[in-house]
Amino acid sequence: MDCLNIKKDLEQLITGQVLYQEPMQNHTTWKVGGAVDIMVLPFDATDIQRIIHYASKAGLPLYIFGNGSNLLVLDKGIRGIVIKLNKCIDNIEIKDNIVVAGAGALLPKVARIAVSGGLKGLEFAIGIPASVGGAVTMNAGAHGNCISEVIQEVKVVTTDGEVKTIPVNSLNYGYRSSRIKDEGHIVVEAVFKLTPGDASELKRIITKNMDFRRNRQPLNYPNAGSVFKNPLGESAGRLIDEAGCKGQRVGQAKVSEVHANFIVNLGGAKASDIFCLINQVREKVKARFGIALELEVQIMGEA
Ligand code: EPU
C-alpha cells in the first residue's frame, strides 16, 4: 500500500485534514499505540461519505474513533485509514429542551453547557472523557445513568456511505452496546432530549460527580477508564481487588491501587505491557471467582 499516494488522493477529495504515519499514542488517553498509516480529521458528513467510498473502492481497512479514551492501540499500529472525530464536527447547540451536538464535541463540555442552560439529564456525563460519537456508540454511563436515557435520535453515516437519522427506539441500546456499534455506523451528530431543571442544583450535582471521580479514580496517570465491563450484578473493580491484583505490574503498566478496574501508564508503558496485564487480571479473577471478565476497552491494531 503506497500511503503517500493515499494521502494525496484524500487531500484532493476532502476538506478536512489528512495525516501520514501518525503515532496513535498522541491520540489515546492511555498514551500508547504505534502509528496509523493514514489519519483523517473530517470536516463534515460529506467528508466522511467520501472517505468511506474511497476506502471501499481501494479495499482499505477503515476505522473510526473519537477521543481515544476507551481504546488500546497495539504497538505496531494500524494498517489502513483511521477517521478521528475529535476537535472537528464539534458544534453544540441548544434549543428549548433539545441539545444537538456534533460527534467530535467532548461529552463533558456538552454536559456543562446543558447544565448552565438549566437542562437536566447529562450531569452523570460530566467526568466521562469521551467524544459524543464514542459515548453514543458505546452507550457510555456513570453514576447509574447512561447516554441512551437522554438520546432522542442520532445522525450517522452507514458503512455504505448513506446519511441516516436513527430514532432512539431503533438503536438497540444495551449496557455499553448499541446498533451503531454492531453495524459499524459512524456518528455525525446526536440529539439529546433533556428536561428543565434548576441550574444551581444541577451545578451542585456535577461538582459532586467530579469529586467522586477525583476521590475514587486514578486521574493523575494516563488511563482508559474502566478496563472491564461490570458483570451482571457484580463489580469488576471489587472482583479484581479481591483477587489481589491491585498494584500488579507489567513493565510500566500497573493495576491501580486507587481503583482496581483501572490500569495506569506509569510513563512509557507499551501496549504489550497493558495487554499482558489485562490477561493476567482476567486469569486471576477467573481462577478465584470463575467469572470471565469482558473488556470494556476496545483493542485495535497489530501487536
Ligand atoms: N471497588 C472495590 N475495589 C476497587 C474499586 C471498586 O472493592 O478497587 C468496589 C467499590 O467499593 C464499589 C464497587 O466496587 O462498591 C463499584 O465501584 P465504583 O462505585 O467505583 O463503580 P464502578 O462500577 O467500578 C462504574 C463505571 C465507571 C463510572 C463509575 C461511577 C463501569 C464498568 N464503570 O464504575 O465508568 O465512572 O461507575 O459511576 O460501568 C468507565 O466506564 O470508563 C468508567 C470509569
Considering the chain, what percentage of its residues have pLDDT values greater than 70?
100
Residue from 126, 234, 235 to probe ligand 1 pocket by mutation (most atoms less than 8 Å from CB): 235
> How many whole angstroms from 252 Cα to the centroid of ligand 1?
23
**What residue ranges in 173-275 does DSSP mark as E strands?**
186-193, 195-196, 249-250, 253-255, 263-265
pLDDT tier for residue 235 given thresholds of 50, 70 and 90? very high
How far apart CA 114 and CA 97 sit, in angstroms, is 9
Q: pLDDT tens digit string along 95-129?
A: 999 999 999 999 999 999 999 999 999 999 999 99
pLDDT at 87: 81
pTM of the entire predicted model: 0.95
pLDDT at 24: 98
Average pLDDT score over residue span 198-214: 97
C-beta of residue 278 within 8 angstroms of C-beta of residue 295: yes
pLDDT tier for residue 86 given thresholds of 50, 70 and 90? confident
Average pLDDT score over residue span 260-276: 98
Residue from 261, 263, 298 to probe ligand 1 pocket by mutation (most atoms less than 8 Å from CB): 261
Helix axes 107-116, 199-216, angle to 10 degrees: 150
Residues noted as catalytic:
176, 226, 296
Average pLDDT, the chain: 97
